[in-house]
Amino acid sequence: MMEKFVYLFHEGNGNMKETLGGKGANLAEMTRIGLPVPYGFTISTQACNAYYDAGKTIPSLVESQVLGALSTLEEKMGKKLGDAENPLLVSVRSGSVFSMPGMMDTVLNLGMNDETVVGMGRLTNNPRFAYDSYRRFIQMFSNVVLDINTFYFEQLLEETREQKGYSSDPEMTAEDWKEVIEGYKGIVKKHTRKEFPQDPKEQLFLAINAVFDSWNNQRAIVYRRLNKIPDHLGTAVNIQSMVFGNMGNDSGTGVAFTRNPSTGEHVLYGEYLINAQGEDVVAGIRTPQPIQTLKDEMPAVYKQFADTCKRLEQHYQEMQDIEFTVERGQLFILQTRHGKRTAQAAIRIAVEMVEEGIIDKKTALLRVDPDQLNQLLHRRIDDKYQRTLLAKGLPASPGAATGQVVFDADEAEELGNAGKKVILVRPETTPDDIHGIVAAQAIVTSRGGMTSHAAVVARGMGKACICGCDALKIDVKAKQFTVDEKVIKYGDVITIDGSTGEIMLGEIPMIEPQLSEEFQLLLAWADQERKIGVRANADNPEDAQKAFEFGAGGIGLCRTEHMFMDLKRIPIVQKMILAEQYKERMEALEELLPMQQGDFEGIFEAMQGFPVTIRLLDPPLHEFLPDKEELLVEVTKLQILDPASPELKKKELLLKKVRQLDEYNPMLGHRGCRLGMVYPEIYEMQAKAIFYAAATLADRGLEVQPEIMIPLVGHVNELKQMRQLVIDAAVKVQEETGKQFEYTIGTMIEIPRAALTADQIAEEADFFSFGTNDLTQTTFGYSRDDAEGKFLQNYIENKVLPENPFAVLDQDGVGRLVEMGVKLGRGAKPTLKTGICGEHGGEKSSIDFCYKTGLDYVSCSPYRVPLARLAAAQATIRHGLNKKEVYTTA
């Protein structure tokens, strides 16, 4: 049997990529399902290999099959290649199995020559178009096939325009183009010592040769080597009839989506131009008509187009973006692909396609990108409006906001309370600024990274925040900041986008978040599928309430230090830190206890019986004291100006204590359980506050599930001692109140040694929570703020690291420690509950990793809970281990 090298479009299908290349297989598939695709044929990848085997000549068998396919094409189109009256023009494109930039570019309008150009002018009633197409063809063919640099043609065209006093191509007439064509032919003759080929069949075979040759050009070889694409695959060649939308008022061209890509509404959406070529729609020279008006202009074509769209959607089971042309009342589909869409549209389309029976629920869940959900939960900037970019920082907390610039937390609070919208701009924020952060619409800092104070607090509140924007030179005293030469003063209006890190001048309209019914339904489906719990990180009753509304199955991290940062409490906290005697310290702690108890009651109540993991005090104590430099300045001033003042004594004492607590490396210093070991009374007060809260709620008939977490454990003995302290506190409260309550005690695994000795630590723990923010810092030996501010961006741009390891879990390094921790921990204690509470708990690829590693839950900021619910369902579906139970709790 004769080997087949050439396939007409109707002879192939979408599964024949190896033979027809990607593009050829797609064109064949559209033809196979009965779409009106401009007809053509594909020369196979095997023909390319035969060409090389025959010493870079087209074998006679391939040539005869090409000519056979060409005559079928001519018959089908009712046109002939090279016919002066009704010429067939074709496009020639390469098409390898894998998409490969660097391969041969397309040649359009092949078949044009001195005779067919006249016929085209007559047929289109537009000689100017015909001659313009001819000169484009000569230029393209000469560059791609004859290897003549485009520069020579562009130079001649520019000279001609200047001579005639024109500023752009549309001013050129048919006669002008004729002149250019003669000049172009001269360029070809000068470079090739031959006339430009006039025989269309010669043009065709020269173009086929050029495609095959391009398989082994330098760019293609390098690309294949880099992407590990085998050299023996070869490339296919697609030869397709050209169709023209500019042959009169019964012709046109356009682009349409099978559903509205902004809203997801099930209506045809798009636009078209009567009597135009495809590039006219894109170039925006003429204003297109909405697709609906095609119904009146060409009812039969519109009906055929609507039916085709429906068929395409049914076939690909996905919303399609379609390019089409109408030539003299006949519809042709040039291309179809999956359409890009907004988050809102993605959700509506996925849900409605399930309701229409096109896809099932699992497919619908996999269709929506979890990252897109951020758009829906926060205000976002309306893309329709112009923006003037001032600077760009780290996108620390998503959402958008507009407001007047203020430089001081007190001013932010004052103006915020007066109903003004403000944005707090500071070099960095401290716990002292919390009241200003609460009052502001958003926060911008010039220092600090994604876990700086501002970033963490803003994310918890769902406020937009940009950190580490070092392009801003902030002068707090002068109440202004400069970017390059631009000065932004107190009271000037800026807009920020926390999702991109962009700071813009002036006010830009916003789109308010809306959670549609489809959104809720999709998340309900996600909960039915997922086999891993989703909790939230929340430090106060408001955040806990928000987390509950977003569908969290508990609190995975409640950071008690944030409760100490309240303005009313800071003086008491400082009194506790500055206490020289145990008695003094206990007095301050007793004052703090009822306040902490109130916090815990509010959080337990908001979570309505779901588990709440409370981390005992973690940061070093100096974080609750004033800044050393600022304090030094104040002391020096008082020593000079008012040496006798009692204020000076107080400040000097404070400075002494700040210096005592000062550490070279606070990140690895006296913090976490090390504080509890040296000052057990602090942890005892916190444990009692938790248990008093549990007892009070139990009294009111409310169920609570406190989980007490000891931070920064590196050795089992630390946990052993702290566990006993918590148990003793529980016994005291139970005896005192007469109330019984359940509780568990666990630890945060955030130091490599804890993961390496997880079997020993598990003996003393009911649960492990992997604190991957700190575990990433301690594994890499990075200080996050320094790394993000100084070199991390450089590492990512230069591909030293694939991603920022603080945003996307480093599965090879940090991930391996997590796997080891789970394996060793569960080996020692099979009932050990495990979760993750770093920021990675809200990132889709990290959630996928957590599912595969066998964690019981992930925990993330309240506003990322919907994203995590969807990502958890996708991980469960992808890895196929699916239990049909609803996981609401962890």
453 is catalytic: yes
Q: Are 702 and 693 in contact (CB under 8 A)?
A: no
The whole-number pLDDT of residue 278 equals 61
Report residue 304's pLDDT band, with 50, 70 and 90 as the boundaries: very high
Secondary structure string (H, E, C) spanning 677-710: HHCHHHHHHHHHHHHHHHHHHHHCCCCCEEEEEE
The whole-number pLDDT of residue 654 equals 81
Q: How far is CA 468 from CA 50, 409, 479, 639, in A?
A: 59, 18, 19, 35
Report residue 696's pLDDT band, with 50, 70 and 90 as the boundaries: very high
Q: Does residue 185 register a pLDDT over 80? A: yes
Q: How far apart are CA 438 and CA 435, in angstroms?
A: 5
Q: Does residue 94 register a pLDDT over 60? A: yes
Q: How far apart are CA 674 and CA 276, in angstroms?
A: 75
Report residue 749's pLDDT band, with 50, 70 and 90 as the boundaries: very high
Q: How far apart are CA 257 and CA 337, in angstroms?
A: 10
Q: What is the pLDDT of residues 386-402, one digit of tens each?
A: 888 999 998 888 889 99
Q: What is the pLDDT of residues 206-235, one digit of tens each?
A: 999 999 998 888 778 877 877 778 888 899
The whole-number pLDDT of residue 344 equals 82
The whole-number pLDDT of residue 70 equals 97
465 is catalytic: no
Q: Are 847 and 841 in contact (CB under 8 A)?
A: yes
Sign for the pseudo-dihedral over CA of 643, 649, 653, 654 = negative
Q: Does residue 839 register a pLDDT over 50? A: yes
Report residue 99's pLDDT band, with 50, 70 and 90 as the boundaries: low
Q: How far apart are CA 721 and CA 756, in angstroms?
A: 20
The whole-number pLDDT of residue 883 equals 39
- Among 868, 870, 874, 798, smallest CA distance to 838 is for 868
> Per the structure block, which two tokens stand in for 284?
């925006």
Q: Does residue 328 register a pLDDT over 90? A: no
Q: What is the pLDDT of residues 353-385, one digit of tens each?
A: 999 999 999 999 999 999 888 778 888 888 888
> Per the structure block, which two tokens stand in for 706?
């406190």
Q: Are 67 and 217 in contact (CB under 8 A)?
A: no
The whole-number pLDDT of residue 483 equals 94
The whole-number pLDDT of residue 261 equals 86
Residue 165, Ramachandran bin (φ over 0: left; ψ between -120 and 50: alpha; else beta)? left
Q: DSSP H helical segments within 145-217, as ranges?
A: 150-164, 174-192, 200-214
Contacts of 443-448 with C-beta under 8 Å, sequence gap 24+, read 444/393, 444/469, 444/472, 444/496, 444/503, 445/393, 445/469, 446/393, 446/470, 446/471, 446/472, 446/473, 446/474, 446/481, 447/785, 447/789, 448/785, 448/789
Q: How far apart are CA 105 and CA 140, in angstroms?
A: 9
Hey, is 537 helix, strand or coil?
strand
The whole-number pLDDT of residue 359 equals 96
Q: Mean of the pLDDT values across residues 60-81?
A: 95
- Among 554, 603, 559, smallest CA distance to 856 is for 554
Q: What is the pLDDT of residues 2-15, one digit of tens each?
A: 899 999 999 999 89
Active-site position among 48, 378, 453, 562: 453
Q: Mean of the pLDDT values across residues 682-709?
A: 95
Q: Mean of the pLDDT values across residues 824-829?
A: 98
Active-site position among 309, 673, 837, 860: 837
The whole-number pLDDT of residue 373 equals 84
- The secondary element (H helix, E strand) that includes residue 99 is none
Q: How far apart are CA 4 and CA 142, in angstroms?
A: 31
Mean residue pLDDT of the chain comes to 90
Pairing of β 107-110 and β 90-96: antiparallel
Q: Does residue 881 register a pLDDT over 70? A: no
